[in-house]
Amino acid sequence: MRSAGCAVNDFADRKFDKHVTRTKNRVLTSGKISPKEALIVAMVCAAMAFGLVLFLNALTIRLSFLAVVIAALYPLFKRFFAIPQLVLGVAFSFGIPMAFAAVVGEVPPLAWMIFAANLCWVLAYDTAYAMVDKQDDLKLGLKTSAIAFGGKAALMVVIFHALFLFLMAGVLMWIKAGAAGWLGLLLAVGLCTVQVPWLYSGQSVQYFRAFLFNNWVGMAVFLGLAVDAWL
């Protein structure tokens, strides 16, 4: 579904991407593949994902339809919604209630706490991502959180990271996590803190560096939880 979403997003943005320095060489914008090919990729990936969902229970299947709608509509929100990263966060987080539905047959409050934590994390790293393209997006008339927050964009990334970490601490308390889980979260705190000077640097290359560094944030939380479960 992530691949399908990326294909739909690149299809929707193909006329904008050619005017943005970072995206002008994407395969669709540069003409390496056609719009028709991008849509075929999206449909094939979505069909494969739906084929997998059909092996799960009815609740998960129902949630999958909503997930597809959100993923398909996200690219359009950049045209009129001030903070489209919020919609992206919902799309990226929707696998969480689906996973709970598939495994335990319901979506308990814990699932929504993890959903909220992940939503805050997406708002953090994708605002840093949007900061990279802010000037190009302003010229094109697109909406992003970096534009909506203006000079407070870096501060908002820090706040969203803090909310993410706070909510994940709540999750660890809820599941009575052991030392490994807390160690992973503590490492994530350090990895988020490292990004602060990059966010305030005023340099696009540093904003992008902060965005990419969130791979390590996610890895720290994941490994902490995985080791904790294994032990």
Please, what sign has the CA dihedral across residues 184, 187, 191, 193? Answer: positive
Given a cut of 90, is residue 58 above it in pLDDT? yes
Q: What digits encode the pLDDT tens for the residues 21-42?
A: 777 778 888 788 888 998 899 8
Residue 80: the pLDDT is 83
Q: Please, which pLDDT band fits residue 129 given cuts at 50, 70 and 90?
A: very high
Looking at the fold, whether 79 and 45 belong to one and the same domain comes out as no
- pLDDT of 10: 82
> Does residue 134 sit in the same domain as residue 36?
no
Quote the domain boundaries for residue 28.
Answer: 1-55
**What's the pLDDT score for residue 117?**
98
**50 shares a domain with 147:** no
Q: What percent of the chain has pLDDT over 70?
A: 100
Most confident of 46-55, 76-85, 110-119: 110-119
The domain that holds 80 is classified in CATH as 1.20.120.1780
pLDDT band at 123 (very low <50, low <70, confident <90, very high): very high
Q: pLDDT tens for residues 198-221?
A: 999 999 999 999 999 999 999 999
Instruction: Yes or no: say if 191 and 154 are a contact pair by the CB < 8 Å rule.
Output: no
Contact 11, 38 (CB under 8 A): yes
pLDDT value, residue 32:
86
Question: Looking at the structure, do residues 112 and 208 belong to the same domain, yes or no?
Answer: yes
Residue with the bigger pLDDT between 164 and 82: it is 164
What is the mean pLDDT of the segment spanning 91-109? 95
Which pair of structure tokens corresponds to residue 1? 């579904």
3-state SS track over 127-168: HHHHHHCHHHHHHHCCCCHHHHHHHHHHHHHHHHHHHHHHHH
Q: Could you tell me if 226 and 120 lie in one domain? A: yes
Q: What is the DSSP letter of 106?
A: S
Quick one: pLDDT at residue 5? 82
